[in-house]
Amino acid sequence: MARVPGICSLCKDKDYPPCTVFSIPTFNNKPKYHKFYNFLRQDIVGEKKYLTCEEACPDSLILDEVGLKLNSENCIGVGLCLINCPFGVLEFNSNFSVQQGPLSEDERAELRRKVGCFFNGNPFPVPEKIVGGRRISLETYTAEKETKHLSTWAASVLKFLSGDSHSYVGLEIEILRAKKPRDGRIDVCARSGDDVLIVESKVSLEKAVTEGSFHIQMKGYLEESEKFISKYNKLFDASLRRYAILLIGGRESDLLPPGHKSNTGVVGGYNKRFYEIVEREKIKFVSATALWCLLVWSVVAGRKLHWDLVCEDVLFKKNVFGLLSGGIVAKERDKFLLKSVTPEKIDSIVRDAS
């Protein structure tokens, strides 16, 4: 079929083309506070629909009688449309906007060169656009509306980056918090095979620190989830293992290690306090930008950096505290450093795209 640049007519008769709307399952919440256990059991009771790009890049996707028009000018490369398209007709261009392919060889080479800079020890600047007089980027998108933007986007990306073909994700999974029974809600859960990921989302470093409760929340989730996982493992003779991360949206440079030349989190002492808490409570954190890098790398390479392997082989290693677009945040000789993840390391954990 001949492709008209910028227009895809594959789903033109659908009210909800799959690249514009995606679904996330909802899980049984009975008995009370058992939604996490029901998540493990994949006790799905329905699904909720979400728009891919409408919130992130207004008017970047327009459906009319002809088909779906992609307006790459407005696209900041959030990537939801791309990963949800069942026909694989969408690609990142060298500016990380999504377009209906194919790319020229030169553009593909440029894109690969840029992606090669991910995790190389230097923070990667996400693309920015000016739309309607507003500066927008992945960072501005994930810096607001924690549930609507950051968590929903993360859930879809984690589903894409799952190795198991039966993997699934969930949002706002209720779990008991002993001291505050009604307040336990895990922002994002993902399961891939025997690996379970619990994600606590915060739209910014400042929010995480000023609220001052993310470590208490995560501790509570870890304790409670452990009980359910043990119960599940015993009942089903399984060997589930659990990872928990703090996902932080917004400006990634706020999260750079203390003393890093590009650190913007010094004002208010947020960065310092954050690292004190993270070290004391042994919390693993990931920036939204880093998660985006995993996504883009996987799409461009045609091979996936599965989250479970990233957790096992990269993030959940001794002395590693976080993952940013420039690499891992590790502590060496009493100092936090941003260190690259070598191409060899990446090669060792990458898998063919399923």
Partner 1 sequence: MAVLINRNPVGRLICLHSLLRYLFAQFGMEEFTLNDLKYDKKKRHTITDFCPLLLKISSVRSRVCPYLKTPLSEAVCYLTQSVEYDSQKSKSASDALNALDGLGWVDRGTQSSRITSFGETIAAKDFNALGDLLLESVLSYGPFVGFLWKALANSRGAVVKRGDIFAGFPDTKEVYEEGGRKILLSTGSRKDTNVRTKSVLFCWGLSVGLFSPLSKVDIASYILEQRWTLREFKINYSEKLFSGLYVKRPLEYQWLTKSTKALRERYQGPQRETTLRLEGKVQNRRFAVVYSLAKAAEIGKGINYERLIDRLQEEKEFVINTAPFRQVMELEKEVAWLAGIPFREKGGILIPKTRIDMKIAKRGAPEKILSFLDSIMEEVILDG
Residue 116 binds partner 1 (CB under 8 A): no
User: Segment 127-166, which members bind partner 1 (CB under 8 A)?
Assistant: 147-148, 152
Q: Which residue has the tokens 């906007």?
A: 97
Cβ neighbours for 281, distance < 8 A, ≥ 6 positions apart: 215, 218, 219
Compute the distance between CA of residue 143 and CA of residue 78 in angstroms, rounded to an integer. Answer: 13
What count of other Cβ atoms lies within 10 Å of the Cβ of residue 289?
A: 27
- Smallest separation (angstroms) from partner 1 to the CB of 299: 20
Of the pair 47, 223, the CB lying nearest partner 1 is at 47
The residue among 242, 246, 244, 245 whose CA lies nearest residue 226 is: 242
User: Segment 3-42, which members bind partner 1 (CB under 8 A)?
Assistant: 15-17, 20-21
Residue span binding partner 1 (CB under 8 A) among the ranges 46-54, 203-211, 325-333, 342-350: 46-54
Residue 317 binds partner 1 (CB under 8 A): no
Length of the chain measured in residues = 354
Q: Using CB under 8 A, which of 8, 53, 161, 248 touches partner 1?
A: 53
Q: Using CB under 8 A, which of 68, 126, 136, 198 touches partner 1?
A: 68
Residue span binding partner 1 (CB under 8 A) among the ranges 57-65, 133-141, 276-284, 297-305: 57-65
Cβ neighbours for 189, distance < 8 A, ≥ 6 positions apart: 36, 39, 169, 170, 171, 173, 196, 197, 198, 199
- Strand duo 185-192 + 195-202: pairing: antiparallel
Q: Using CB under 8 A, which of 30, 48, 113, 317 touches partner 1?
A: 48
Helix (H/G/I), strand (E/B), else coil: 309: helix
Of the pair 75, 126, the CB lying nearest partner 1 is at 75
Residue 181 binds partner 1 (CB under 8 A): yes
Residues that bind partner 1 (CB under 8 A): 15-17, 20-21, 48-54, 58-59, 61-63, 68, 147-148, 152, 181-182
